Amino acid sequence: MWSEKRELVKHAANLAKEKHPEGFNKQQLIDASKEVFGGYSANPSKPIKTMEDVNNMGNHMAQVDGHYPVGMSGCYVVGLNGGCGIDCPVFKEGECGEPQEFEARDVIDELGQEEAEEVMASYSCFDRYFGAD
């Protein structure tokens, strides 16, 4: 029978074995559990700020939570966890499926001119901002 706690302990035990090959105690196992998938397995409400966080949360959802498939898209992971928006790492990475939902002015206000221009250059819906046809 599937148990989220059991899966977390399995992953934590593997991590603790890597860190302490001579053997580990209960506290070291607890410490390792806080590191499983970047800490998302111990604290799934931790904010998603980077693409590494997206991957860690996706792995937690598939391998510890167990209710989601392996290989979910970054947008799917972020969306399920309420992180959609201009500050989304998937949007900032140029991989958002719905960038047209954001206004150029809002992107600039949120990210600053330089970062906003880098991000917006990844999306054709912002070509008008750059003077392209």
pLDDT of residue 37: 95
Does the pLDDT value for residue 133 go beyond 50? no
Residues 2-14: pLDDT tens digits?
A: 788 899 999 999 9
pLDDT of residue 46: 93
- Read off the tokens for 82: 């309420």
Q: Report yes or no: 48 and 77 within 8 Å, Cβ to Cβ.
A: yes
Q: Report yes or no: 35 and 60 within 8 Å, Cβ to Cβ.
A: no
Does the pLDDT value for residue 59 go beyond 80? yes
With left for phi above 0 and alpha for psi between -120 and 50, is residue 7 left, alpha or beta? alpha
Residues 16-38: pLDDT tens digits?
A: 999 999 999 999 999 999 999 99
pLDDT of residue 131: 62
Q: DSSP secondary structure string, 13-73? A: HHHHHHH-TT---HHHHHHHHTTGGGGTTT-TTS---SHHHHHHHHHIIIIII-SS-TT--
Report the predicted TM-score, pTM, of the whole model to 2 decimal places: 0.84
Does the pLDDT value for residue 107 go beyond 90? yes
